[in-house]
Amino acid sequence: MSKTICAISTPIGTGGVAIIRISGDNALEIAGRIFVPFNKSTPEPRRAIFGKIAFDEVTDDALGLYFPAPHSFTGEDVVELQIHGGFYLSQAVLNALLERGAVLAERGEFSKRAVLNGKMDMSQAEGIIDVINANSLASLRAGSRLMYGSMREVVEKMQDELTECMVEVNVALDYPEHDIEYITATKVRDISQKIIGDIDRHLATAKTGLQIKNGVNVVLAGNPNVGKSSLLNALLGYNRAIVTDIAGTTRDTLNESYEYNGVRFNITDTAGLRDTDDIVESAGITRARDEIRSADLVIYVQDKLNEPREALDNANIIYILNKIDTNKATEKITQNSKNTNNLQTEKFDILVSAKTGENIDNLKQLIFERTIDTNLINSDIMLTNTRHIECLHRARAALVDTAQNAESTTLDCLAVTIMQAWEALGEITGTTANEHIINEIFAKFCLGK
Ligand SMILES: Nc1nc2c(ncn2[C@@H]2O[C@H](COP(=O)(O)OP(=O)(O)O)[C@@H](O)[C@H]2O)c(=O)[nH]1
Ligand SMILES: [Mg+2]
């Protein structure tokens, strides 16, 4: 018999309502020690029950919900108490439950029990966490797809194909005639190659997937006073960074984000790149260079047409000319803007004004196009989880071994690498993950989840 666990499932703090969740064989009994329904008949499953919380000196009106096993989130008997969302009150109710036989749930323990009881697989539990942590429409949609089993479906299909492979190999091992062995080897090679192709298609979504989950990292770079901080403010739509006409105003890096086309963009404003004796500014410039190196995209800002450029350590750069509301040279250019062969403006991807907002929306669109693979954004499956990516790489390596050696090695050896691939895939859904791995994953979940 498993222990009955409980936790506050709503955020710690003050709010209208707090929900306390209890799961385990004694959930109903333990809840009944502090919660008394006004209507004393047997609690009806999955129906709100109005009643009173009463223990020691504490009383409150509350709603109780009873989900008998197996039709609950965890697959066990679950009771949820909806009480008033006071910080003190919810702690007091939690403590009362602990004193009356429940134990405090560990991080992710409700989800872990749900997985162990077959209510969902591990990738779906991870999907729930992604839904909770989503910070943009695209990351929310990716999280829900995972939660509804998109990854599970893909993994199980590949595992089924590998099972077919295993069956072939076992038949050949049981009837060791040369012909069968040859046919088996070719078939195993073909199936492996087919699955490698599937895995590669999924791995190709990983970069965009991680950007969608974590946000796209964009860095503003350029000389002092070209308008980087002003551009940050223009992109955000409010004045976050300090803007002055004094060169070297921005010294530390500054990070803020906005959502565009459902994707979150993390924008970093940096200290202008120049030689300086100022220790603080110089430390800021070192930081700026680190940010430039690791960014998904760099926006190189200039405010003069013919200024030389510094080579930046990043392959993805948008060159922009700012201050087109003032720049004398640019005025001439915009007058001649029909001349598409203008050599000077050709050096820039886009001309903007942080001050008037001209072309800022186009800049946002350009940033989007230069980072997000729009073909992938709505694909059924997008890899957003580094653990899944790592498992797929391992499965792939085992399949490459299998395919390469299919015709030259023994069936026993093939059986081993096929099994390795099968197990690596199973770690994604949790079916082949050992207890240590499972505990590690759920330890990253939040309390009460
Ligand atoms: N006219 C005009 N002035 C701008 C524009 N963008 C920035 N500035 C001015 O340029 C100066 C430097 O701007 P700031 O954003 O601090 O530049 P940073 O040093 O690159 O961060 C400030 O006086 C801004 O008001 C623009 O598009 N047009
Ligand atoms: Mg600045």
Q: Is 224 in the pocket of ligand 1 (CB under 6 A)?
A: yes
pLDDT at residue number 180: 65
Could you tell me the distance, in angstroms and rounded to a whole number, from the CA of residue 245 to the centre of ligand 1? 7
Domain end residue (candidates: 371, 398, 427): 371
Q: Is the pLDDT of residue 331 over 70?
A: no
Q: Is the pLDDT of residue 122 over 70?
A: yes
Could you tell me the distance, in angstroms and rounded to a whole number, from the CA of residue 389 to the centre of ligand 1? 43
Which residue among 219, 220, 225 is best mutated to probe the pocket of ligand 1, counting the most ligand atoms within 8 A of its Cβ? 225
* 65 and 194, same domain (yes or no): no
Q: Is 246 in the pocket of ligand 1 (CB under 6 A)?
A: no
**Ligand 1 atom closest to Cα of residue 353:** 27
> Which H or E run contains 175?
none
Which segment of 105-119, 183-197, 325-339, 341-355 scores lowest on mean pLDDT?
325-339
| 436 — pLDDT class (breaks 50, 70, 90) | confident
More confident residue, 141 or 285: 141
- Cis amide bond preceding 70, omega within 30: yes
Q: Is 328 in the pocket of ligand 1 (CB under 6 A)?
A: no
pLDDT at residue number 239: 85
Query: What's the rounded mean pLDDT across residues 221-242?
Result: 91
**How far is it, in rounded angstroms, from Cα 221 to Cα 39?**
67
In a domain, 115, yes or no: no
Residue 430 burial by Cβ neighbours in a 10 Å radius (0-12, 13-18, 19+): buried
Q: Is 248 in the pocket of ligand 1 (CB under 6 A)?
A: no
In a domain, 141, yes or no: yes
- Write the pLDDT tens digit of every residue in 400-427: 999 998 888 888 888 899 999 999 999 9
**How far is it, in rounded angstroms, from Cα 138 to Cα 299?**
23
**Ligand 1 atom closest to Cα of residue 322:** 27
* 282 and 365, same domain (yes or no): yes
* 170 and 291, same domain (yes or no): no
Could you tell me the distance, in angstroms and rounded to a whole number, from the CA of residue 272 to the centre of ligand 2? 7
Could you tell me the distance, in angstroms and rounded to a whole number, from the CA of residue 391 to the centre of ligand 1? 48
* 329 and 437, same domain (yes or no): no
Ligand nearest to the CA of 228: 1
Domain end residue (candidates: 349, 371, 393): 371
> Using CA atoms in the order 136, 142, 147, 148, what is the torsion angle rounded to 10 degrees?
130
Q: Please report where in the chains the tokens 């803020």 appear, as a residue.
A: 256
**Ligand 1 atom closest to Cα of residue 356:** 27
Q: Give the structural domain span for 78.
A: 5-105
DSSP state of 249: -
Distance between alpha carbon 70 and the CA centroid of its chain, in Å? 30
* 248 and 392, same domain (yes or no): no
Could you tell me the distance, in angstroms and rounded to a whole number, from the CA of residue 231 to the centre of ligand 2? 9
Q: Is the dihedral of CA 335, 341, 342, 346 positive or negative?
A: positive
* pTM to 2 decimal places: 0.86
Counting the structural domains of the chain, the total is 3
Domain end residue (candidates: 105, 133, 157): 105
pLDDT at residue number 352: 95
In a domain, 162, yes or no: yes
In a domain, 173, yes or no: yes
Check which CATH number belongs to the domain holding 349 and give it: 3.40.50.300
pLDDT at residue number 338: 47
- pLDDT, mean over the chain: 89
* 364 and 394, same domain (yes or no): no
* 255 and 354, same domain (yes or no): yes
* 28 and 93, same domain (yes or no): yes
Q: Is the pLDDT of residue 339 over 90?
A: no
Q: Is the dihedral of CA 136, 139, 145, 147 positive or negative?
A: negative
- Write the pLDDT tens digit of every residue in 19-35: 999 999 999 999 999 99
- Write the pLDDT tens digit of every residue in 152-203: 999 999 999 999 888 888 888 887 665 667 678 888 899 999 999 999 999 9
* 361 and 403, same domain (yes or no): no
CB count in 10 Å sphere of residue 279: 8
* 240 and 366, same domain (yes or no): yes
Q: Is the pLDDT of residue 71 over 90?
A: yes
In a domain, 128, yes or no: yes
Q: Is 322 in the pocket of ligand 1 (CB under 6 A)?
A: yes
Length of the chain: 449
Which segment of 170-179, 282-291, 311-320, 334-343 scores lowest on mean pLDDT?
334-343
The residue whose CA is least distant from atom 7 of ligand 1 is 227
Residue 313 dihedral angles phi and psi, to the nearest 5°? -85, 65
* 311 and 169, same domain (yes or no): no
